Structure 1
Amino acid sequence: MSLEALRPSPLVEQAAQRLRDQITGGDWPVGTKLPGETTLAKTLGVGRSTVREAVRALAGAGLVQPRQGSGVFVIATEPTEDWPTRLRSAAVADVYEVRMMVEVQAARLAADRRTDADVASLRAALENRRTAWSGGDNAAFLDADIALHATVVDAAHNPVLTDLFAEFVPALRKGLADLVALLDVREHEVAHGDAGHAELVEAVIGGDGEAASRVLQAELEETLRELSAR
């Protein structure tokens, strides 16, 4: 298998996949030292920073290991299942249970830590959700709904919580998209969940952590019941 120059697109992902193919295909056995960044960048037709990120992705998958002063070495020919992959393959109800634990605590913290900038962002996110619902586009509505929840998490000012919620988003969006289509919420509801989301926003803005967590818990439990009943 020979390396070829890459086409423009998400270059890091392409570079990581090309290098992964070399490893899993047996061209670079365990113990092999990868070519240097400059060589790989020239061969793949990308910048050294792209190669660096691609190698970091391979390290995260358990395929390679950088050794200071020695280079990057192949340590496995089959990737370990990383966190995003695990989430994509998990049942959406299982993901939702974990989301609930993370986000309810984040809402409690957000009520204590929100800033004036967070207050403005929360109000804007709630209005965007309403606008998206009125627009009739389910995909845009789901994006706006998730964005509002992400804004609540951001207001907790805990970067680990923010990153963890971001990891959940692709799996959550897919499950929620299926649920919206299945339930045909537009036929049965005037403004899907608006009152609860408005109550959540006001609780966070008002600094009432107990109310914020209670409202969010109730909303997420209801959605989880609907997901589990599918």
Structure 2
Amino acid sequence: MPLATTRRTGLVDQVIEQLRAAVAQGDWPLGTRIPTEVELGEQLGVGRNTVREAVRALAHTGLLEVRQGDGTYVRATSEVSGAIRRLCGSELREVLQVRRTLEAEGARLAALSRTEEEVAELWSLLARRETELRERRWEDFAHTDAEFHTAVVRAGHNGLLTELHRGLTEVITASVAATSSITPGVHHVPEIGHEGLAEAIAERDPDRAAAEACGFLDELLERVERA
């Protein structure tokens, strides 16, 4: 990962910005252990204490996680995501409720604002999702499913809603994976399809799109309540 050598003013802030950029750009994917303080100091041309202070600041925001005796790991892709993860915690019911609010409005806006290219992207993601389901590739399925929902919200062309949803992406992926273990046999949960949602968006039907987005999440919420 190429890191620019820092200037000698505001060193901690500069290191924070470079570490944040490395996470946001995917140089350090989610769950990755980042280089040690010594290694980062050598790459950036700063002291170990400067790196430690920057890492501590990003750990406080939820972007990084310091595990004593093990190292520092990427916990979220942005401070927004880190904050949401702290708020939602591991409570699946709350995560699904937040998803319902954001994605219902996102689907409605997508039906009004989507482009033909965005519709094509939705169908492509659904095709990949179906393949991963058929091949029982559950981890890939969870990521593709989350990517589909992100694409729906992005097609609404509301920057603030998209940013909030992007911050929820990791939690959404975790919630999809969690719903796969609500009942024995992972194949029970992915039976919920999204073709109706894609069709409503393609046909520019905002009311149906919102209803489709709410429908499958309501079903997941019911399964959580029964579990």
- Normalising by the smaller structure, the TM-score range is 0.5 to 0.7
The answer for the alignment partner of 1:108 in structure 2 is 108
The answer for the alignment partner of 2:11 in structure 1 is 37
CA RMSD of aligned residues (A): 3.6
Unaligned runs of 5+ in 1: 1-7, 12-34, 63-81
Unaligned runs of 5+ in 2: 4-8, 16-37, 62-81
Structure 2 residue 167 is matched with structure 1 residue 167: yes
CA deviation after TM superposition for structure 1 residue 116, in Å? 1.6
Q: 1:116 to 1:225 in 2, by over 3 A?
A: same
Q: Which residue identity does 2:141 align to in structure 1? A: F
The answer for the alignment partner of 1:58 in structure 2 is 57
Asked if structure 1 preserves the Cα contact closer than 8 Å seen for 2:132 and 2:141, the reply is yes
Cα shift readout 1:172-191 (whole Å, capped 9, x = no counterpart): 322332321232455557x6
Q: 1:188 to 1:217 in 2, by over 3 A?
A: closer
Which one is further off, 161-170 or 118-127? Answer: 161-170
CA deviation after TM superposition for structure 1 residue 105, in Å? 0.3
Equivalent of 1:47 in 44, 48, 54: 44
Q: Which residue identity does 2:221 align to in structure 1? A: L
Q: C-alpha distance in 1, partners of 2:119/2:175?
A: 29
Q: C-alpha distance in 2, partners of 1:181/1:203?
A: 29
| TM-score normalised over the length of structure 1 | 0.64
CA deviation after TM superposition for structure 1 residue 39, in Å? 11
Asked if structure 2 preserves the Cα contact closer than 8 Å seen for 1:87 and 1:168, the reply is no
| TM-score normalised over the length of structure 2 | 0.64
Asked if structure 2 preserves the Cα contact closer than 8 Å seen for 1:104 and 1:216, the reply is yes
Q: Which structure 2 residues correspond to residues 75-90 of structure 1 after superposition, within 5 A?
A: 83-87=83-87, 89-90=89-90
Q: 1:228 to 1:175 in 2, by over 3 A?
A: farther
Q: Which structure 2 residues correspond to residues 177-196 of structure 1 after superposition, within 5 A?
A: 177-186=177-186, 188=188, 192-194=191-193
The answer for the alignment partner of 2:19 in structure 1 is none
